[in-house]
Chain A
Amino acid sequence: MAFLTLQHVRKQFGANAAVEDFNLDVEAGEFVSFLGPSGCGKTTTLRMIAGFEKPSSGRISLNGRDITNARPNERDVGMVFQQYALFPNMTVGQNVGFGLKLKKTPRPEIKSRVTELLELIHMPDKGDNYPHELSGGQQQRVALARALAISPQVLLLDEPLSALDAKIRDELRNEIRRIQRQLSITTIYVTHDQEEAMALSDRVVVMSRGAMEQVGPPFQIYNYPETQFVASFVGKLNQLPGKVIDPAAGTVQCGDVAIRTTTPIEEPAGAPVNVMVRPEELDLGAGEENQVSGVVESVNFLGAIVRVRLDRAHSNGSGESITADLFNERLLELPSVGDTVTVSFPAHACWVLTAR
């Protein structure tokens, strides 16, 4: 049996269903991220695990114990909030030791645990500081230490890096992963940042409109999206509308070109579909099996990659554009805006989804 289980969990706010039929098994020590846009129900689900919201129906169990209706202070979960939520009237040390004090832990034990955790977050000398004397990143580290101090069975993080600037976010992201691995603590992480979810998680749960769209390891989510939403939400994606020519041969007519894919097509011949291909799968030139031409609309140099955007309107009248991400190298010959170029991609790089 899984360590944390959510079975048919549903949450209704008035007439609106915030979460619908949510089912998830999380193993002990696993790092799972809930990823989705604002209002998709990811935070509501996390809050139901924490006990701050009661499910309208369904069951949540932790380590074999039904916690569906348990109070937040009886669940043995640690939570880190987006706004840090450190107690302003307490020092860093008092904040970290707060939960242990409530558990009536002996004072010397609290002291050694606080010291240990402050070392874990690389802030051993900040125990006597007040939260307002710390930066945002430091405050969030303390919030993490405070949540870990009570040795919770599950650590819940609700967009903990959203309020921080990019550099600190990156540093703290690595810190969170390091600490999670070091302690092997089961972790649920809520974010709308796909890069964050991909970098941190063992598995990602992609959510949309209160429902789970897909659950899987980051590699699988990115490379084998099962729904149109996942395909378009996670990473950048080219979608070429077309009609199935031959399902068995894996061919689709997209405007004036026929595209072949090695991924099975389940739609019958003539069915409208979208051919999906990631921008980084495209190469300049006609080297691969599938080729698409267009007029260069823009060339953006982004450092490690160069993003070339083609307008296909001139070649097939469809008006759609296609984006190619080329890996930067010194000898790369960049096209100019207005040039007509061909990009190509192998048959295994694209797949087909039913057009909506």
Chain B
Amino acid sequence: MTVTAAPTAIETPAAVVTPAKAGTGSKVMAWLILLAGIAYFLTPLIATGERAFRAIGGTFSFEAFRRVVSDPEFLRTFGESAINAVLTIFVSLLVIVPTAYWVTLRVPKLRSVIEFITLLPFVIPAVVLVFGLIRMYSRPPLAILSTYGSTRVMLICAYAALSFPYMYRSVDNGLRAINVRTLTEAAQSLGAKWPTIIRRVIFPNLRVALLSGALLTFAIVIGELTIALYMGQHTFGPYMSNLVRNFVAEPAALTVLSFAMTWAAMGIISFLARRQPSSKPKKAV
């Protein structure tokens, strides 16, 4: 088959493109698109890295990173946000795993309703959420936002709500990948009770899904600004925001650090996903 460049009355040899040439052309185009995509994503990163690594007199150094890490506020706010993130993951898992498990096992018809509820944080802006929380819990009869500690509890609950879309999807995908009903029934027929089934059968088989949801939650919480700011919490988000306003190289160094952490998290998920035993049997006997 030949492909002509344009319809002409008499085909000249120059107008005929062989399949091999056409294939080469599409390969070149594919490479060009790929390179454009890579450039689109890497250019800002390289520029940020350039700013971070050449903070002092344009020479390569880790000075900006040293300054960031040696700032006591960095460690304090990062530590506080990390603790918030861990507590958020705990609350989120406590709410989402039993809910998703129960919906899958007993009321699959409710799946779309639960999905809609978990998507609400995407629809409701964080600023609306935080003002709603402040209005609701800062006056009687539910005036619990009176101290830094109690406000922090509320902050963690708000973060848990923010994490629902990611956590629910991760857990739901994990549950869909294993045959939850049959595994549950198999365990029951062997004498297992609910806590044993969840602990010994369901949780271990959701390892990657749970880790994926947990890492995404960690990433959201660690840099969250709006809710923390309006609730008067001195966490990592407001610290970074403050840094951006007052310094040049340090925010760039922070950005590089956060990218490194994100990629490390992705790497861990990918590594564990490869090690997760599959439930598909081999073909050979």
Contact = CB atoms under 8 A, between A and B. Distances in A.
B282 A135 contact: yes
A137 interface: yes
Contacts of B186: 79, 81, 85-87, 143, 146
A90 B192 CA distance: 15
Contacts of B204: 89
A327 interface: no
Interface stretch (B112-120, B140-148, B175-183): B175-183
Interface string B188-220: 111111001000110011010000000000000
Q: Which of A73, A79, A139, A143 has the most CB of B within 10 A?
A: A73
Contacts of A99: 190-191
A224 interface: no
A78 B185 CA distance: 11
B277 interface: yes
B281 A134 contact: yes
Given A73-B188, A73-B189, A131 B282 contact: no
A102 B285 contact: no
Nearest to A133: B282
A138 interface: yes
Given A73-B189, A103-B191, A150-B190, A85 B182 contact: yes
A130 B186 CA distance: 17
Interface string A37-79: 0000000000000111000000000000000000111010111
A131 B279 contact: yes
A132 B284 CA distance: 12
A83 interface: yes
Interface in A150-186: 150, 156, 168
A127 interface: no
Given A73-B189, A73-B192, A88 B279 contact: yes
B115 to A, nearest CB: 25
Interface of B: 178-179, 182-183, 185-193, 196, 200-201, 204-205, 207, 277-285
11 contacts: A73-B188, A85-B179, A98-B190, A98-B192, A99-B190, A102-B191, A102-B196, A130-B277, A132-B282, A134-B281, A138-B281
